[in-house]
Amino acid sequence: MPRLQASTAIPLDALLHAPSPAHFFREVEQNEDHLLMARLNMKLQNQFGEDFYLQCFAGSQLERIPRSTLYSLAQCYADVFNESWGEDWTQESALREIMNCINCDSAYMPIMTILFKEERVIGFSWGYLLDVDALTPGSSPFSNSRVKRHESVEVARYWMDSVSNKSRLVSIRELGVIKEYRQDKTPYLTLPIFEKVNAQDCNVAFFRTKLSSKAFKWSLGVGFVPLQLFMVDELLLMRGNVRYAMQLLYGSIDDKIKRKTQVEIIGNIKRYMCD
Q: d(Cα 75, Cα 82) in Å, to the nearest integer? A: 10
Least confident of 30-34, 53-57, 108-112: 30-34
- When pLDDT is cut at 50, 70 and 90, the band that residue 23 belongs to is very low
Domains of the chain with CATH codes? 1-47 (no CATH), 51-273 (3.40.630.30)
73 with 89: CB under 8 angstroms? no
Residue 5: the pLDDT is 33
Of 62, 43, 68, 63, residue with least CA distance to 54: 43
Least confident of 81-95, 133-147, 149-163, 204-218: 133-147
pLDDT in tens, 35-51: 999 999 999 999 999 99
Burial category of 236 from C-beta neighbours within 10 Å (exposed 0-12, middle 13-18, buried 19 and up): buried
Amino acid of residue 141: P
pLDDT in tens, 50-99: 999 999 999 999 999 999 999 999 999 999 999 988 889 999 999 999 99
Q: d(Cα 191, Cα 116) in Å, to the nearest integer? A: 16
154 with 241: CB under 8 angstroms? no
Check whether 236 has a pLDDT greater than 80: yes
How much of the chain, in percent, has pLDDT values that exceed 70? 89
- Model pTM? 0.86
Check whether 215 has a pLDDT greater than 70: yes
182 with 117: CB under 8 angstroms? no
What are phi and psi for residue 237, nearest 5 degrees?
-100, 120
- When pLDDT is cut at 50, 70 and 90, the band that residue 29 belongs to is low
Q: d(Cα 161, Cα 71) in Å, to the nearest integer? A: 39
How much of the chain, in percent, has pLDDT values that exceed 90? 74
Least confident of 35-39, 85-89, 116-120, 270-274: 85-89
